[in-house]
Amino acid sequence: MAKNKINKNWLHDHINDPYVKAAQKDGYRARAAYKLKEIDEDEKLIKPGQVIVDLGCTPGSWGQYTRRKLAAGGGINGTMIGLDILPMEPIADMHFIQGDFREMEVLDQLAEVLQGRKADLVLSDMAPNLSGIATADAARMEDLIDIAIDFAQHHMKPGGALLVKCFKDMGFSQIVEKFRAEFKTVTQKKPKASRDKSSEIFLLGRGLKHPAP
């Protein structure tokens, strides 16, 4: 009974959520687009001509927003690459690679698109599948952050930026320390589109201290 009540409350909040309505009106696949939009407008992350990699890009609302920012005269001025183990409906001008980006086959496909270039910006909206066990969920979240940092060290320009999703109740202080150890500047962002009830928060790291050779 309690579960049904929670589901009904969530559905009511979802249907009446102004960002859900805006996403439907603006043609975004998810309300998450507005989280990136707000952070981008604050931090001036996305600029024409950039190489941008979106980790865990499905369903694609961050890719849709990025494309709109890079759009110029019918095409895009820049390179967009999306990586996910899940399938995704195509986004115009986005190179989508399905698979685990820690595997050589996927990295080979990535190298083919990059052609020796490195990313200006790496985005990660990845989140773990939650078990409800706090320590296990915190460890999974930390693992995803480690993966994103490692990816940035190998595939991002030394002066680039990495934006990741975290949760305040999932090993957040350790994650912040990791970011401070690896990036010259670290900023915490809680966009308005991130629900008040959620412990979701975004970390932005700029300038790698230890880029891979």
Separation of alpha carbons 15 and 170, rounded Å: 28
Q: Is the per-residue pLDDT at 186 higher than 60?
A: yes
Separation of alpha carbons 44 and 155, rounded Å: 21
- Tell which wins on pLDDT, 9 or 77: 77
- Percentage of the chain lying above the pLDDT 70 cut: 93
- Binding residues for S-adenosyl-L-methionine are 60, 62, 84, 100, 125
Separation of alpha carbons 182 and 38, rounded Å: 24
Domains and CATH numbers, the chain: 30-208 (3.40.50.150)
Q: Which positions are catalytic?
A: 165
The whole-model pTM stands at 0.92
In this prediction, residue 213 has a pLDDT band, given cuts at 50, 70 and 90, of confident
User: By the 8 A CB rule, do 208 and 179 touch?
Assistant: no
- Binding residues are 60, 62, 84, 100, 125
